[in-house]
Amino acid sequence: MTKVLMVCLGNICRSPLAEGILTSKVNPAHVFVDSAGTAGYHVGHPPDPRSIAVAGKHGLDISNQRCRKFNKSDFDEFDLIYVMDKANYSDILTMTSNQSQKDKVSLLLDVTNMGQSEVPDPYYGGDEGFENVYQMINDACEVIAASLNND
C-alpha cells in the first residue's frame, strides 16, 4: 500500500480536490490518499462549497471529507507528501527532523512539465479560479496515478 498525502493551507479548497481527484484515478487496494492543511482554521469542516461544486461538475463527490491539520506523525504515516505552493513547502519542511522526511515532500505541479510550480490559492477569488485549480491538479494527478498504478 502506498500512502499519499495532499497538503494546502486550509485543507478546504485545493488539497480536498487533490485527494478526491487522485483517489478517483488509483486502485484503492494499492493506494490510500488523504489530505491535510498546514493551518487549523477550518478543522472538522467539509470542503469549501466551491470545491465541492467544481468536483461535482467533474463527477466527483468530495462532500464527505473533513478538514484536519497536518501533524508530524504524518511523516511516518505517508510515503509521498504533495504540497500546493511554496509557502506550504516551507511550512512542512520546517517540521521535518531528518532527510528521509524531507525527501517525501514535493510540490504537486513539479510532477508535470506545465512550467508552473504552484497551485494558486483560490479562496479569495471567484468560481473560475476553482475550475483553473481543478484542471492543474487533475493534470498532476494523472501523472502521479500513472506511476503509482504501474508499481
Q: In the complex, what is the shortest distance from the CB of residue 118 to ligand 4NP, in angstroms, rounded to a whole number?
A: 11
Give yes or no for residue 19 binding ligand 4NP (CB under 6 A).
no
Which is nearer to ligand 4NP, 30 or 57 (by Cβ)?
Answer: 57
- Type of residue found at 95: M
The reply to whether 66 belongs to the active site is: no
Q: How far apart are CA 63 and CA 140, in angstroms?
A: 22
Q: Is 148 left (phi over 0), alpha (psi -120 to 50) or beta?
A: alpha
Which is nearer to ligand 4NP, 32 or 123 (by Cβ)?
Answer: 123
Tell me whether residue 126 is exposed, middle or buried, using C-beta atoms within 10 angstroms of its C-beta: 0 to 12, 13 to 18, 19 or more: exposed
Which is nearer to ligand 4NP, 2 or 139 (by Cβ)?
Answer: 139
The alpha-helical segments, DSSP class H, found in the chain are 14-25, 49-57, 74-77, 86-93, 99-103, 127-149
Catalytic residue among 8, 13, 67, 141: 8
C-alpha cell at 22: 487522485
Which is nearer to ligand 4NP, 47 or 148 (by Cβ)?
Answer: 47
Q: Which long-range contacts (CB under 8 A, 24 or more apart) does 124-127 make?
A: 127/50, 127/53, 127/54
The reply to whether 8 belongs to the active site is: yes
> Which residue in 4, 5, 6, 12 binds ligand 4NP (CB under 6 A)?
12
Q: Are 36 and 62 in contact (CB under 8 A)?
A: no
> Which residue in 4, 5, 8, 144 binds ligand 4NP (CB under 6 A)?
8
Q: In the complex, what is the shortest distance from the CB of residue 68 to ligand 4NP, in angstroms, rounded to a whole number?
A: 12
Catalytic residue among 48, 74, 85, 121: 121
Supply the residues annotated as catalytic.
Answer: 8, 14, 121
Binding site for ligand 4NP (CB under 6 A): 8-14, 41, 121, 123
